[in-house]
């Protein structure tokens, strides 16, 4: 049984025995300098702290790349220990209509900051979930109360944010974290938790995470619950992910036009291993992009995967569609000969 420890309030805080906090919160950096990856963004945000002022900000990027951490860390560095009294976080996906802008957001923005702070910060997560009307109302609120409140908007797709809001913000595009940054953070957690993790397991977590630190830490914690010694096989098992060589074997069978062999492997991955069809499609696509093969055949394969992904998103039967995908891959391989 693993004894889980936690520390508070940050990386320089003290550890406490017996706290079973979820690791993505337990190990969330409290300062900009503690963030891994996104070095250029961190440097620019630190310059705001040094100047004591900041514009409205728009953070955009995929999940788990540090957008929320950057916003909270920025507030901590601006306001110190009393950061929470001048900082508010709202999730736009919970309440996405115009009423939330006219009530909660406007009410917070219009009140003067407390203490010595010259402004407050409102962090609006998943801002791309706001309706167009709500975004239009938010634009006016950002204009009218800019002296007392600065906005940090976070979204996965900046194209879903209306142009008037984008033009009022300094836009920061967060990239998926590189493998070295993820491994650096994982090794820090491993050291603090007293775990033993093989190098192959670390690379397996990087493969599963796809640049998402939150997914990487969750995978590590899930494996640590089972055993303090973490191996590669455990990572693939708990995340219901096919090993890269299994995906390669599936594609090889299709290229060799061995439909029955590919079908048996597909059945084992989907049924016995419990891998989700969409996840397997994603892994096949990743393997194809990196694979050296006939370009025309690669294009056909990617087209077939994209078509299957669309059909699944529209509610088609997953078993039929996955086997139909294999059939199309085999036929394309046959036609290319």
Could you report the per-residue pLDDT of 268-284, keeping only the tens digit for each?
Answer: 999 999 999 999 999 99
In tens, the pLDDT along 242-270 reads: 999 999 999 999 999 999 999 999 999 99
Residue 325: Cβ within 10 Å count: 25
CATH number for the domain formed by residue range(s) 38-173: 3.40.50.300
Report pLDDT for 110. 86
Report pLDDT for 8. 41
CATH number for the domain formed by residue range(s) 178-238: 1.10.8.60
In the numeric block, which tokens belong to residue 246? 């299994």
In the numeric block, which tokens belong to residue 59? 């953070």
Percent above pLDDT 70 for the chain: 92
Report pLDDT for 15. 40
CB 193 within 8 A of CB 224: yes
What CA–CA distance (Å, rounded) separates 279 from 236?
A: 12
How far is residue 278 from each of residues 212, 240, 241, 313, 329, measured CA to CA in Å? 17, 12, 11, 9, 17
Portions of the chain given CATH number 1.20.272.10: 244-335
What CA–CA distance (Å, rounded) separates 246 from 97?
A: 45
What CA–CA distance (Å, rounded) separates 337 from 330?
A: 11
Q: What are phi and psi of 62, to 5 degrees?
A: -70, 175
Fold of 244-335: Zinc Finger, Delta Prime; domain 3 (1.20.272)
Report pLDDT for 111. 84
What CA–CA distance (Å, rounded) separates 244 from 249?
A: 9
In tens, the pLDDT along 203-253 reads: 999 999 999 999 999 999 999 999 999 999 999 999 999 999 999 999 999
What CA–CA distance (Å, rounded) separates 176 from 180?
A: 12
Report pLDDT for 2. 32
Portions of the chain given CATH number 3.40.50.300: 38-173
Does the pLDDT of residue 173 top 90, yes or no? yes
CB 308 within 8 A of CB 266: no
Report pLDDT for 10. 43
Percent above pLDDT 90 for the chain: 73
Portions of the chain given CATH number 1.10.8.60: 178-238
What average pLDDT is seen over the chain?
89
Report pLDDT for 258. 95
Report pLDDT for 96. 62
Does the pLDDT of residue 19 top 80, yes or no? no
User: Which of 22-31, 75-84, 98-107, 294-303 has the lowest average pLDDT?
Assistant: 98-107
pTM of the model: 0.84
Q: Nearest 5°: CA angle at 117, between 115 and 122? A: 110
The larger pLDDT score, comparing residue 107 to residue 47, is at 47
């Amino acid at each position: 049984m693993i004894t889980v420890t936690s520390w508070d309030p940050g990386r320089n805080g003290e550890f406490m025995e017996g706290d079973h906090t979820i690791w993505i919160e337990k190990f969330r950096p409290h300062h900009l300098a503690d963030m891994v990856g996104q070095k250029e963004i961190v440097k620019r945000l630190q310059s705001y702290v040094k100047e004591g002022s900041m514009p409205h900000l728009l953070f955009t990027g995929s999940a788990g790349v540090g957008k929320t951490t950057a916003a909270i860390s920025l507030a901590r560095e601006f306001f110190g220990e009393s950061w929470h009294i001048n900082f508010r976080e709202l999730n736009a996906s919970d309440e996405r209509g115009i009423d939330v802008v006219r009530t909660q957001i406007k009410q917070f923005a219009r009140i003067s900051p407390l203490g010595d702070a010259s402004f407050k910060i409102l962090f609006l997560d998943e801002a791309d979930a706001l309706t167009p009307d709500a975004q239009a109302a938010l634009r006016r609120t950002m204009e009218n109360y800019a002296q007392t409140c600065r906005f940090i908007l976070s979204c996965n797709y900046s194209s879903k944010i209306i142009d008037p809001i984008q033009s009022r913000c300094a836009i920061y595009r967060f990239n998926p974290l590189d493998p070295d940054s993820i491994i650096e953070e994982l090794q820090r957690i491993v050291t603090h938790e007293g775990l033993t993790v093989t190098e192959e397991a670390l690379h397996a977590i990087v493969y599963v995470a796809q640049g998402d630190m939150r997914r990487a830490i969750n995978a590590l914690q899930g494996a640590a619950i089972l055993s303090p010694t973490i191996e590669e096989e455990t990572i693939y098992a708990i995340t219901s992910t096919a090993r890269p060589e299994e995906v390669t074997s599936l594609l090889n069978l299709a290229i060799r036009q061995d439909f029955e062999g590919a079908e048996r492997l597909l059945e084992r991955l989907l049924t016995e291993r419990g891998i989700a069809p969409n996840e397997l499609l994603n892994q096949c696509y990743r393997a194809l992009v990196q694979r050296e093969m006939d370009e025309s055949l690669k294009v056909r394969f990617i087209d077939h995967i994209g078509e299957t992904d669309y059909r699944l998103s529209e509610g088609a039967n997953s078993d039929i569609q996955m086997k139909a995908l294999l059939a199309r891959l085999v036929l394309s391989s046959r036609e290319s000969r």
